[in-house]
Amino acid sequence: MAGGTKKFPLKTLLGFLGPGFLVTVGFIDPGNWATNIEGGSRFGYELLWVITLSTLMLIVIQNMAAKLGIATGKSLAVNIRERFSRPVTAFLGLTVVVACMATDVAELIGGAIGFKLLLGMPLWLGALLTVFLEVFLIVSQRYHRIEAIIIGFLGVIALCYLVEILIVKPDWTAVVPSMVVPHVNRGSIYVAMGILGAVVMPHNIFLHSNVIHSRKWGISEGEKMALLRYEKIDTLSAMLLGWMVNSAMIIVAAAVFFRHQTVVDSIEQASATLKPLAGPLAGLLFAVALLFSGIGSSVTSSMAEVNVITGFLGKPEDPRTLLYKISVFITAIPSFIIIVLAMDTFRILVFSQVVLSIQLPFTLIPLLILCHNRTLMGRFRSSRREFAAAVAISGVVIVLNMYLLYSTLAGGG
Domain ranges of the chain: 19-252+270-409
Bigger pLDDT: 186 vs 156: 156
Bigger pLDDT: 199 vs 406: 199
The mean pLDDT value for 99-104 works out to 83
Say what the pLDDT of residue 404 is.
Answer: 67
5 burial level (CB within 10 Å; 0-12, 13-18, 19+): middle
The answer, yes or no, to whether residue 6 has pLDDT greater than 70, is no
pLDDT tens-digit profile of 24-48? 988 888 878 888 988 999 999 999 9
The mean pLDDT value for 76-80 works out to 95
Say what the pLDDT of residue 359 is.
Answer: 87
The answer, yes or no, to whether residue 335 has pLDDT greater than 80, is no
| Mean pLDDT score of the chain | 84
Which value, in Å, is the radius of gyration of the alpha carbons in the chain?
20
pLDDT tens-digit profile of 135-150? 777 777 666 778 888 8
pLDDT tens-digit profile of 371-397? 999 999 988 899 999 999 999 988 888
Per-residue b/e over 267-291, b at no fewer than 16 CB within 10 Å? Answer: bbbbbebbeeebeeebbbbbbbbbb
Separation between Cα atoms, residue 96 and residue 47, nearest integer Å = 27
Say what the pLDDT of residue 342 is.
Answer: 66
Q: Which residues contact 309 (CB under 8 A, 6 or more apart)?
A: 97, 323, 327, 330
Task: Quote the Cα angle for 24-232-180, to 5°.
Answer: 65
**How far is it between the farthest Cα atoms of the chain?**
62
Separation between Cα atoms, residue 35 and residue 347, nearest integer Å = 9
Q: Name the band, by pLDDT with cuts 50, 70 and 90, for residue 338.
A: confident
Q: Which CATH number fits domain 19-252+270-409: 1.20.1740.10, 1.10.579.10, 1.10.4080.10, 1.10.260.40?
A: 1.20.1740.10
Return the DSSP state at 382. Answer: P
Closest alpha carbon to 188 in 392, 393, 394, 50: 50
Separation between Cα atoms, residue 40 and residue 191, nearest integer Å = 10
The answer, yes or no, to whether residue 357 has pLDDT greater than 80, is no
* Cβ atoms of 235 and 55 closer than 8 Å: no
Say what the pLDDT of residue 194 is.
Answer: 77
Bigger pLDDT: 226 vs 246: 246
Closest alpha carbon to 202 in 97, 47, 287: 97
* Cβ atoms of 162 and 248 closer than 8 Å: yes
Q: How many angstroms separate the Cα of 144 from the Cα of each of 15, 21, 214?
A: 11, 12, 8
Separation between Cα atoms, residue 232 and residue 237, nearest integer Å = 8
Separation between Cα atoms, residue 290 and residue 110, nearest integer Å = 7
Say what the pLDDT of residue 389 is.
Answer: 92
**In 120-201, alpha helices (H):** 123-139, 143-168, 172-178, 189-199
Portion of the chain with pLDDT greater than 90, in percent: 33
Q: Which residues contact 196 (CB under 8 A, 6 or more apart)?
A: 50, 53, 54, 357, 397, 400
Bigger pLDDT: 410 vs 234: 234
